[in-house]
A and B are shown apart, each in its own frame.
Chain A
Amino acid sequence: MYTYKYINNKICLGLLQVAWLRVDTQTILTIASHVITKNHRIVVTHSGHRTWSLHIRETRETDRGWYMCQVNTDPMSSNTGFLEVVVPPDILDYPTSTDMVVREGSNVTLRCAATGTPEPTVTWRREAGGMITLSNWHEVPVLEGPELTLTRVTRLHMGPYLCIASNGVPPTVSKRIVLIVHFAPMIWIENQLIGAYEGQTLVLECHSEAYPRPIVYWTRPNNETIVNDNNYKSEVTAEGYETTMRLMIKNVRLQDFGSFRCIATNSLGENDGWIKVYKIGKPSTSRNTNSRRDSKKWSIDHNKKSSKDELILKEMMEELEEEGNEENSKSSTSACGYLDALTLIVMLLNVFPRFTTTTLS
């Protein structure tokens, strides 16, 4: 009779025995100091005969529920207690949204499904602390709820969103969902009319907003597409959906007077803008008498913070110089180029009205 072995000691423990049961499943766990169930995670201990403790090792979610402590009095007496098993939050791959691509003007809902006990709360944030723009143009840093609905999406909505699930049980988890907004290119130009004299060095600048990133290029007044050579150097910088394109004309020639066009094309459309370069007379050298003061002033400004245009011009000049002096050794090129560029800028500032105005204003 192998069943005796559970009870062998029990008989002599005393008249009353404490038993533990799982209420939900109506399972006998322990009686006195004997574990009845074959669940090996269950242990029972007691101190004296007053306190009987049920231990559950390696707790699982399924252990959550009511437990009964029973004493075989007549009539039987019992007490129940609830074991809550908490579970840190987890974000489910489905139906949580993956990266989304939508057209500007359409609506989009980002979803985030999380499990855990207690039930986690889901909050939405934009990465790097940005604001979430709601349909009523209100901006909020945080939004609560498993769904983030954006109506009439604009390019400002583009970027990574964080869905954060927390329920007070560490660790809190988050998922990064990137919202990509597609829209056709648009172009804006600060200076559409630029006066220049022959031989001058000039930078034309166009700004474009487009996503996916557009293909951009320039055309000359004769409608030819510009390729980089000794005279022209085009440069594109892009950040997010913003693209800045610059064209440097190193030495303005007669055929450069006219309208340059900057063009941006992506899968959704094309747009262009015009910059007209018109001819002005070479400024008289008499301005040079004032120029010492101007240049001095410029150098003070430069020490504080160079204006954007000056830096652009400087950088582009450096690069052009490098291209032109390819036979020079690398080290000397950079050093000399830099110095040359500086002198050139100083010179330009003295002679070129636009920059002069900038520095003086």
Chain B
Amino acid sequence: MTDARVRNPGSCAAKSGNVGSVIEHHPSSYWEQPFSQPYFDNTTKRETTTTVGQSAYLYCRVRNLGDRAVSWIRKRDLHILTVGILTYTNDQRFQAMHSDGSDEWTLKITSPQVRDSGTYECQVSTEPKISQAYKLNVVVSKAKIAGNSELYIKSGSDINLTCIVLQTPEPPSFIYWYRGEHVINYSQRGGISVVTEKQTRTSRLLISRALPTDSGNYTCAPSTAESASVLVHVLNGR
């Protein structure tokens, strides 16, 4: 895939040099089928959910494009994002991805925000235009640890924390547990077990026979969601 980023003023000279040789080029299919109209390949996904910070991709596939251009616009405010492989918007997070000769015109949105949620349109410059709408949901995924935000445990009891990742479109690829600043080191102390289930998006941390030294701020940090913390106090009992 070519990341064609044109709004960058510095790329001006470089790009036009590259372009000069291809201006007169017409795809052979255009001449072979002069009357064929472009059409969409409808197999691509039309609704995408992504989490904040996870790049989003909207895939638009057009057959028989000929000399027409594929553009992406944001329907909410009619903001033109890209035309061909060039970016019109000054919002640098949007870019068109296309490799020579392919039918795919992908809109990439890097570090999407919740406000980017909405409908995007892949538009072909025929008269009248043909278009396909894509719905993008950008969600904030959050981890949540069951129970109170502060735990009091008698010394010698077990610390049992269950973390669940909410609102994540995809299972997180990993979930880390921290105590304080550091990833919990299983080997440092015996009796620690972590059971992470990707499918249910949960992770359970079990520390058996806790001691006051196990007190601290425990954090569950999934790969694609905001982390959650709980403050654990291990009390000196007899």
| A residues adjacent to B (C-beta < 8 A) | 1-8, 10-12, 15, 17, 19, 21, 23, 25-28, 31, 36-40, 68, 70, 72-76, 78
Contacts and interface: CB of A to CB of B under 8 A. Distances in A.
B85 to A, nearest CB: 6
B73 A26 contact: yes
Nearest to B91: A74
16 contacts: A1-B100, A2-B67, A3-B83, A4-B23, A6-B84, A7-B86, A8-B23, A15-B9, A17-B88, A26-B73, A26-B75, A28-B83, A31-B83, A38-B127, A68-B78, A74-B89
B12 A72 contact: no
B125 A72 contact: no
Which one of A21, A68, A75, A76 has the greatest number of beta carbons of chain B within 10 Å? A76
A6 B22 CA distance: 12
Contacts of B11: 11
A19 to B, nearest CB: 5
B16 A12 contact: yes
A78 B19 CA distance: 30
B26 interface: yes
Per DSSP, chain A at the interface is loop
A37 B90 contact: no
B22 A37 contact: no
Given A19-B88, A72-B88, A72-B90, A28 B6 contact: no
B77 A3 contact: no
B80 interface: yes
Nearest to A80: B78
B27 interface: yes
Interface of B: 6-7, 9, 11-13, 15-16, 19-20, 22-23, 25-27, 67-71, 73, 75, 77-80, 83-86, 88-91, 100, 121, 123, 125-129, 131
B59 to A, nearest CB: 17
How would you classify the secondary structure of chain B's contact residues: helix, strand, loop or mixed? loop
A74 B126 contact: no
A311 to B, nearest CB: 73
A5 B127 contact: no
A8 B128 CA distance: 24
Contacts of B9: 15
Contact of B15 (A3, A11, A70, A72): A11
A4 B2 CA distance: 14
A38 B79 contact: no
A286 B134 CA distance: 117
Closest 6 pairs (CB-CB, A-B): A3-B84, A74-B90, A39-B127, A4-B19, A38-B127, A27-B129
Nearest to A28: B71
Contacts of A38: 68, 125-127
Nearest to A22: B129
A19 B90 CA distance: 13
A83 B224 CA distance: 48
B36 to A, nearest CB: 14
B69 A6 contact: yes
B146 to A, nearest CB: 41
A1 B71 contact: no
Nearest to A15: B9
Contact of B22 (A1, A28, A39, A40): A1
